[in-house]
Amino acid sequence: MDKKQNPVRWGILGAARIATAKTIPGMISSSWCVPYAVGARDLSRAQNLADQFQIPRPYGSYEDVISDPAVEAIYIALPNHLHVEWALKAAKAGKHVLCEKPIALTASEAVELRSVPPQIKISEAFMVRQQPRWEKLRDILRSGQYGAPKTAQMLLSFFMNNPDDFRNRPEFGGGANYDLGCYTAMTARFVFEQEPLRVVAVSELDRHGVDTFLSAILDFGGGRHASFTVSTAMASAQTLHIVCERGFIDVPKPYVPAREEASHIDIDVSPSHDMSDVSTTSFQPIDQYAQEVENFSRAIRGQTAPFFGIDDAIANMKVMDALFASAKTNAWVEVAR
């Protein structure tokens, strides 16, 4: 698709690093997208972003971006507690919405988004699901070639070294579970393609009351479990291991693959611990943020593209609700239906 062939005109709410370092460059690199307007809390900040990325229309408020009649889709890169408020405002103004994760602070908040007109597309910005590697992983699991998946284990962490980051503030939806646990909960649901029955979690809170560490088990029934650890107080790490009945699947660097190196899926079908029978499927380097905004734009234009709507986002928030509830008591908590 050529830029002249009606690309989607995007408005960006917020000047967070995820927008400036990842998503806006992704829009620029895709022929399906044009970053058309940007809004920040003060006009000078929006103007700086507009100058940096050659965005035509900078605004000193989020309302002005939403009110721009030329803007078709809104990307929300605001602190977590503002996601539902601005997603609702954008959707009710007739704009499609790609909202950074987590889409809400609770499932009941996320349910409010069902009130928007049905023709409006709303999606939670889990960019990892747009990787061709993740699409291939789902094909492998669905094929049954290695039997049913029985367990998935995930680790996702980094060391938070900015005390002023909103992710350190509980009232803004800070903490490791909101920031990282939403990814690992989504991954477990992606692997098993259903919702967990119950969860159990333990966490550590810092002096501000946000969790810097959380470990959990998700019970999908029938002897199928997922487990994960997330932390904002450990070295950078990311893993995804899936054990099926007849194969061990390793997805190296599952969430943030190297942009300039091939990524892989490795599958070991050796019948014994002291043996190895590994096959590797390789994938070309990809900008998963560009893939994310391109696929969302294609969906807006009526093209076939991977798309996860509001029902998926609500289901993930129900798991998050259960994880938070369990972390308070370290007891099993049923996931709401």
Bridge partners, 38 (sequence order): 12, 58
Both structure tokens of 6 = 């009606």
**Confidence (pLDDT) at 193:** 98
**Confidence (pLDDT) at 2:** 52
Quote the Cα angle for 134-136-140, to 5°: 115
CATH topology (fold) of 129-284+317-334: Dihydrodipicolinate Reductase; domain 2 (3.30.360)
For the chain, the structural domain boundaries read: 8-127+291-309, 129-284+317-334
Which pLDDT tens digit goes with each residue over 102-140?
999 999 999 999 999 999 999 999 999 999 999 999 999
Query: Does the pLDDT at position 165 exceed 60?
Result: yes
CATH ID of 8-127+291-309, from 3.30.450.190, 1.10.3720.10, 3.40.50.720, 3.40.50.300: 3.40.50.720
DSSP classification of residue 164: T
pTM of the model: 0.95
Residue ranges of alpha helices (H) inside 14-167 are 17, 24-29, 43-53, 62-67, 83-92, 107-111, 132-143
Q: What average pLDDT score do residues 229-257 get?
A: 98
Q: Residue 116 is inside which H or E element, if any? A: none
Q: What average pLDDT score do residues 96-104 get?
A: 98
The answer for residues whose C-beta is within 8 angstroms of residue 33's C-beta and 6 or more apart is: 7, 8, 10, 26, 27, 293, 294, 297
